[in-house]
Amino acid sequence: MVAIIPVAGIGSRLRPHTFSIHKVLITVAGKPVIDYIIDELLSVGIKKIVFITGHLGEQIQNHVTEKYGNIKGRRFSFVEQKEQKGLAHAIYMAKELVPDKEDVLIVLGDTVFKMNLQEIVSNPASVLCVKKVKDPRRFGVVVKRGKFAKQLIEKPDNPISNLALVGLYKITNSTLLWEATEELFDKKLKTKNEFQLTDALQIMLDKNEKMEIMEIENWFDCGKPETLLSTNRELLSLYAKKKKIEGNLIIPPVYIDKTAKVKQSIIGPFVTIGKNVEIDNSIIADAIVENNASVKNINLKTSLIGARALVVGKPNRLNISDSTEVEF
């Protein structure tokens, strides 16, 4: 099996952070988003991975090579998508690296999932993973017939289903996937002005390819600030260990890197603090503070602080009498 991870997007919804760092390298609950995906793939024995890169692609290649380069038997490849033509086009760029009749596992790079991946890998059928969402208009949606897909629609204005494709697909007929994608290209079939993977999969359905639907619970979107912070909260709740730092109040769950320096502060709940961060005389909750940032004399909540950022507030001093109410 070959895994394909498309990570060519510019991450416009996470600007200004993604001007200088790729969105999949943003740290959530102690490690970059892309590491959660790679670790899951390696845990089920998938070592052939193709990364489709673009914007800041060298960052991803450097990170992956440095962290995972010594794994025995791994075959990581990096293919640049020079033009942003859509997800179907990105996946198609891996065609020459997928042997004939080999299964393909597609995982979107800004998706974190916790599930029994082995159950998908060992399933003899193609599998589309879905989750019920409140607003399906942001996603491709699935209409089911029994346990199989009947119809797929990309980002519908008027959704006829609340089952959203979550960015995890296992395709057993890769030959048909390439043929369906080529049909999109030949007929110039675009949705939202792009060649969509959802549309290619629909062509496969039209050609009687069966695709089993699997609902998953633990799926986390990391594509925009509010969902990134939500994912941080969820993953910290699942994995964070208790932390104590003398002279500070630490309210779990939090992740604080061992190289961080925290003084006279209140940290938590739901805070991730990266490598070599300095925090002094501050209160931080529901936030991510990236590597080498400094935060001093400030109260932060629901915040993303980028790498090497400097955030300095002004210490306040009060001398107030009884029965006084003060708001800042």
Q: What is the DSSP letter of 14?
A: G
Q: Among residues of the chain, what percentage have pLDDT more than 90?
A: 57
Confidence check: pLDDT of 326 > 80: no
Q: Which residues contact 94 (CB under 8 A, 6 or more apart)?
A: 2, 4, 50, 52, 77, 79, 104
Average pLDDT of every residue of the chain? 89
Residue 325 in domain: no
Q: How many CA atoms within 13 Å lie on the side-chain side of 176?
A: 16
pLDDT at 39: 92
Q: Within this chain, do residues 55 and 182 fall inside the same structural domain, yes or no? A: yes
Question: Cα–Cα distances in Å, from 209 out to 107, 128, 158?
Answer: 20, 12, 26
Neighbouring C-beta atoms of residue 275, cutoff 10 Å: 14
Residue 84 in domain: yes
Q: Within this chain, do residues 277 and 155 fall inside the same structural domain, yes or no? A: no
Residue 322 in domain: no
pLDDT at 157: 84
Residue 144 in domain: yes
Provide the domain limits for residue 261.
240-312
Beta-strand pair 163-171/104-107: antiparallel
Please state, in angstroms and rounded to a whole number, the distance separating the CA atoms of residues 173 and 176: 6
Confidence check: pLDDT of 69 > 90: no
Q: Within this chain, do residues 119 and 259 fall inside the same structural domain, yes or no? A: no
The band of 328, judged by pLDDT with boundaries at 50, 70 and 90, is low
The band of 133, judged by pLDDT with boundaries at 50, 70 and 90, is confident
What domain count does the chain have?
A: 2
Q: Which residues contact 188 (CB under 8 A, 6 or more apart)?
A: none
pLDDT one-digit tens code per residue, 277-289: 999 999 999 999 9
Q: Within this chain, do residues 158 and 306 fall inside the same structural domain, yes or no? A: no
Q: Within this chain, do residues 274 and 170 fall inside the same structural domain, yes or no? A: no
The band of 236, judged by pLDDT with boundaries at 50, 70 and 90, is very high
pLDDT one-digit tens code per residue, 10-49: 877 778 887 888 888 988 888 899 999 999 999 999 999 9
Domain containing residue 244: CATH number: 2.160.10.10
Q: Within this chain, do residues 11 and 144 fall inside the same structural domain, yes or no? A: yes
